[in-house]
Amino acid sequence: MDFEAARRRVEELRSTIEEHDRLYFQEAKPRIPDQDYDDLKTELIRLETVWPDLARNDSPSLRVGDDRRPGFKTWRHRVPMQSLLNTYSEDEMRAFHQRLVRAAERDDLQYVVEPKIDGVAVSLTYEGGRLVRAVTRGNGIEGDDITENVRGIRTLPAVLRTEVPPGIIEIRGEIYMTTEEFQRINRQREEAGQEGFANPRNLTSGTVKLLDRTEVAKRQLAIVLYGLGYAEGLRLGTQDAFLRLVREWGLPTVEKTWVVDGIDEVWAAIEELDAMREGFAYATDGAVVKLNSIAAQQAIGATAKAPRWAIAYKFAAERAETVMRDISIQVGRTGVLTPVAELEPVRLAGTTVSRATLHNAQELARKDVRVGDTVVVEKAGEIIPAVIEVNLDRRPTGAVPFEFPKECPVCATPTIQVEGEVARRCPNLDCPAQVRRRVGHFASKGSLDIDGLGEAVVDQLVSRKLVNSLSDLYRLTREDLLSLDKFAEKSADNLVQALEVSKTAELRRIIHGLGIPHIGAATAGDLARAFPSLDLLLAATHDALVEVEGIGEKSAEAIRAFFDQDTNRTLLDELRHLGLNPSAPEASSGTGGVLDGKVFVMTGTLPSMTRNEAKVMIEAAGGKVTGSVSKKTDYLLAGESAGSKLTKAEKLGVSVVEEAELRAMLDPDRA
């Protein structure tokens, strides 16, 4: 390669890398795997080394990306937040150790091996033991203030559990989302016809940057802390001691770390981690290996971009190639059509995979996946396998583009494309596939929890046309049930009984069971508390709905749209005539606590606790927390930037209290 060719390639690499940085850090929509990205950077660094005249101090080879977004206050990190060098092989790991041996002039080096969590890096500042700030990495020098969203993380204490906190400490960690939570959110989105998120990292990075706190509250984020940024008046000898200290302070840390001597033990720990990571609640994409001694870390130092004393080892994303025999179409509870690849079974990440999602019609068309194609499937952690791409070299002759059905494969109704949604839907509410899903959802554990009404029974009821809607469930007779496969007198009687009992299920279960788009179990609970009967909920206006804690604009719209539909109103009337009579939300427990029977509403940000913490405290003392202010409200607990609830409370003459007053009520002796 001559200089001119190198110059052209360097320019090309820089602009490609910049584009991928933008996709990754700003849009949270990476288009290429990490390893391919690292290969681009490695090539750029190599060329800049061979042709020093091409090196520039603003080259992306020297930068960590930038996640800053407009609309956020920024803060400068007291100590820059660096990135880590990635490695992908045992040889590269051993080369890292050799570099350190040479630099330290000794070979008895001790390391800590930690799981690498694939999430969003954050720096927390605690002053006098209180959490005052949470900031993203940003460009490494300064990042976005996401304090309010981080305060909502349930497992993160607002106050360190110690009598002698350091004056100021910046602790680094990773915000992430469990695989289970990720799947729950994606299921909900798919049912609402929205595009699912590609992976938990993207969803996490999108969530920490949401400005609407009610939306953030609906997604459960988690956090681990693994690094020291800056500390005033704290002397620590090792990384291991640091991890033990933060654990003692009550901060969440990764579930397992290894303190090991020498590179052979490092490698053994990495292999052990690889074998056990499938059992973790979150996606682990590698290991981080750190020199244990902090004095040795400081002696070895850092480059402009990354410390020299630590390195990441990335596990290969698990992918496999296999032939796609067919594409089937699944019809969801709300009629969304999801294309599914039917595969030649293949081993992947420890399981045999024979189906993978193709997401939606748009994605399928973009990838141009055809029946008979050899496809690459990927499974990251516990996440449902997905078709990543087609191996075009192995496309059979005569393979034709897949034509997305214009009709529902189950009931043949012409499908529709709703504006603003990526999904196609079957609009027929009586479509047997939808009925089956709706009934299944109504009977499921999180809804009415009807014993004996599992999937197989629902399938039979719907295909024999004994059940065409939710209300038909309550028209079933013992004789109907006896006509089903595997049903005897006893099982029929039990199911009749279970159906009878379900008529008085708690209101929140019934609301959830109706399957209103966007309304999960937690929101259903919020609704039931704010509107303690179906009639009240049915009559609730959009404005009254958004007043409820946990309900945003979108959910309010979905609720109104659901109850305004004639079919749904008829359904509710029928259910009522058949005896459905939800039990009122549980009244206060009558614990004899100091707040027995008192009704609280919260608004604004509290100075030292999250709303959830406040709620737990109030409930423990026998009080109750509801979503909207009414004449029944005893106290409005108001924090900073209190909203319309404060105005309403003042108008109704409801007592307004601050956090300090609440604390005094809870602990009168100390006040």
Catalytic sites, residue numbers: 116
Binding site for ligand IVH (CB under 6 A): 82-84, 114, 116-117, 121, 174, 226-227, 288, 307, 310, 312
Least distance (Å) between residue 288 CB and ligand IVH: 4
Least distance (Å) between residue 82 CB and ligand IVH: 4
Least distance (Å) between residue 122 CB and ligand IVH: 8
Least distance (Å) between residue 489 CB and ligand IVH: 58
Provide the edge-to-edge strand list for the sheet that holds 655-657.
624-626, 599-603, 635-638, 655-657
Do 597 and 590 contact (CB within 8 A), yes or no? yes
Spell out the residues 6+ positions from residue 409 whose beta carbon is closer than 8 angstroms to its own.
328, 329, 331, 337
Spell out the residues 6+ positions from residue 292 whose beta carbon is closer than 8 angstroms to its own.
110, 111, 112, 238, 239, 240, 259
Task: Report residue 435 CA to chain centroid gap.
Answer: 28
d(CA 173, CA 115): 12
**Which one, 116 or 219, has the nearer CB to ligand IVH?**
116
Least distance (Å) between residue 332 CB and ligand IVH: 34
d(CA 190, CA 379): 19
d(CA 147, CA 145): 6
Provide the edge-to-edge strand list for the sheet that holds 222-231.
130-136, 120-127, 168-176, 222-231
Do 458 and 411 contact (CB within 8 A), yes or no? no
Nearest CA to 253 out of 276, 222, 232 is that of 222
Q: 208: part of which helix (H) or strand (E)?
A: helix 200-208
d(CA 595, CA 617): 10
Residue nearest to ligand IVH (CB): 121
**Which one, 204 or 415, has the nearer CB to ligand IVH?**
204
**Which one, 221 or 377, has the nearer CB to ligand IVH?**
221
**Which one, 227 or 381, has the nearer CB to ligand IVH?**
227
Least distance (Å) between residue 306 CB and ligand IVH: 6
β-strand partners of 319: 378
Do 377 and 319 contact (CB within 8 A), yes or no? yes
Least distance (Å) between residue 573 CB and ligand IVH: 54
Give CA angle at 330 (457, 393), nearest 5°.
Answer: 140
d(CA 617, CA 624): 10
**Which one, 226 or 249, has the nearer CB to ligand IVH?**
226
